[in-house]
Amino acid sequence: MKKRVFCFLLAVMLIVCVMPMAALADGEASVTNASGKKGETIKVPITVTSPSYGFAFKASVSVPDSGLTLNDITISSATMADDVNVDDDVTGAFYTINGKNITFVTDTGSSYVVTLNLTADAVGEYNVGIDISEMLDFEEKAVISAPLSASGTVTVEEGPAYLLGDVNGDGSVNRADRNYLIKALAGWDGYPITNKDAADVNKDGTVNRADRNYLIKALAGWAGYTL
Cα–Cα distances in angstroms (integers) from residue 88 to residues 94, 116, 174, 194, 196, in the given order: 8, 14, 34, 41, 43
Interface residue with Ca ion among 211, 212, 215, 218 (CB under 5 A) is 211
Cβ-based nearer residue to Ca ion, 141 or 209: 209
* Cα–Cα nearest to 32, from 130, 145, 144, 166: 130
Cβ-based nearer residue to Ca ion, 62 or 168: 168
CB of 217 to Ca ion, least distance (A): 13
CB of 120 to Ca ion, least distance (A): 21
CB of 115 to Ca ion, least distance (A): 31
Q: Can you list the pairs that 159-165 forms with residues at least 24 positions away whose Cβ atoms lie under 8 Å?
A: 159/37, 159/38, 159/39, 159/40, 159/120, 160/37, 162/195, 162/197, 162/198, 163/198, 163/227, 164/197, 164/198, 164/201, 164/227, 165/198, 165/199, 165/201, 165/215, 165/218, 165/219, 165/227
Cβ-based nearer residue to Ca ion, 137 or 177: 177
Cβ-based nearer residue to Ca ion, 67 or 165: 165
Cβ-based nearer residue to Ca ion, 27 or 165: 165
Q: Give the list of residues 6+ apart from residue 205 with CB closer than 8 angstroms, or none.
A: none
* Residue 50 makes contact with Ca ion by CB under 5 A: no
In this chain, which stretch among 37-45, 66-74, 124-132, 164-172 interacts with Ca ion, using CB under 5 A? 164-172
Distance CA 162, CA 47 (A): 35
CB of 164 to Ca ion, least distance (A): 11
| Residues 167-206 contacting Ca ion, CB under 5 A | 168, 170, 177, 200, 202, 204
Strands 148-157 and 28-31: unpaired
CB of 224 to Ca ion, least distance (A): 16
Q: Say how many residues touch Ca ion, by CB under 5 A.
A: 8
Cβ-based nearer residue to Ca ion, 94 or 162: 162
Interface residue with Ca ion among 166, 184, 215, 218 (CB under 5 A) is 166
Binding site for Ca ion (CB under 5 A): 166, 168, 170, 177, 200, 202, 204, 211
